[in-house]
Amino acid sequence: MVFDGTRKNTQMFTNQWDLYWGVNNNNPLLANPYRRAMFFLTYIKGTLVNKWVVTVSRWLNRQIQGGIPTTDERLWAEVARSFTQRFANNMEKEDAQAQLRRGIKMKEGDIDAYVAQFKELARMAGYCLDEPQTIDTFMVGLPLNLYLKTFELDQPRTYQQWREAVVKRQQQYVHAQAQMEAHKNNNPKPQIGGWAPRGQLSHPDAMDTSAGRTRGRLAGSEEINYHVPPYLPRGGFVQQGRGGG
């Protein structure tokens, strides 16, 4: 939480300081206006702010040297006023209006972030939330399905009605998606691994017509002794001699 003089970060820094102060309001360092102001200056660093820091710290010391007690709340009030006047973002309103004209969109289903961003921009732009133009700008940034469902089921009119309705509808959608995912995970498709039987067994009397077995039978056929019927010649003709009888 360090402020370097960048005006667009002035409000963010101020918000962070207020939160820090609120959480530590019982701390003796922050309870004393003088020490609070000096501690505040330690979070403001950089070339853009150095002159202001030196000027303010010297002013604080002069007040104490002049007899002002360190418990005088005017010390802190003057430092806070000087900071706001010196580093206020004078273009904040114009920047917020320009950003809203360009349009902002709800991102990644985060309706809470969208609502917070829109409300802050509308505040900085000086827009009334219940003005029709402001509500129209809010609606344009919603996803089409969310806008249509909200308009159909809730028919909101004011900004608050729109905000509450879209938050409720988006929460319902997120819940439904989570339930569908859980149901899918609880009913997984059966996975068959290598341990499963690999198919139908063949009949033991069935002829194996696979290529390997067929080639094996053909190759082995030369070794088969076929029985030659007696009525077939068993060899070549033998020429009879003339004198034979």
Residue 44 has φ and ψ, to the nearest 5°, of -120, 105
What pLDDT is recorded for position 107? 93
Residue whose pair of structure tokens reads 């961003």 in the numeric block: 117
pLDDT band of 174, cuts 50, 70, 90: very high
What pLDDT is recorded for position 93? 85
Of residues 71 and 231, more confidently modeled = 71
Per-residue pLDDT tens digits for 180-228: 888 877 766 666 556 656 666 666 666 655 555 555 554 554 444 545 4
Question: How long, in residues, is the chain?
Answer: 245
Structure tokens at 131: 């003005």
Per-residue pLDDT tens digits for 127-143: 999 999 999 999 999 99
* DSSP single-letter state for residue 7: G
* Contacts (Cβ under 8 Å, ≥6 apart) of 215: none
pLDDT at 1 over 90: no
Domain layout of the chain by residue ranges: 7-87, 92-184
Average pLDDT over residues 138-154: 96
Of residues 204 and 26, more confidently modeled = 26
Q: From CA 161, how far away is CA 214, in angstroms rounded?
A: 82
- Give pTM, 2 decimals: 0.49
pLDDT at 25 over 90: no
pLDDT band of 238, cuts 50, 70, 90: very low
What pLDDT is recorded for position 196? 59
Summary mean pLDDT of the chain:
84
Q: Cβ(178)–Cβ(172) under 8 Å?
A: no
Q: From CA 38, how far away is CA 59, in angstroms rounded?
A: 11
* Contacts (Cβ under 8 Å, ≥6 apart) of 90: 7
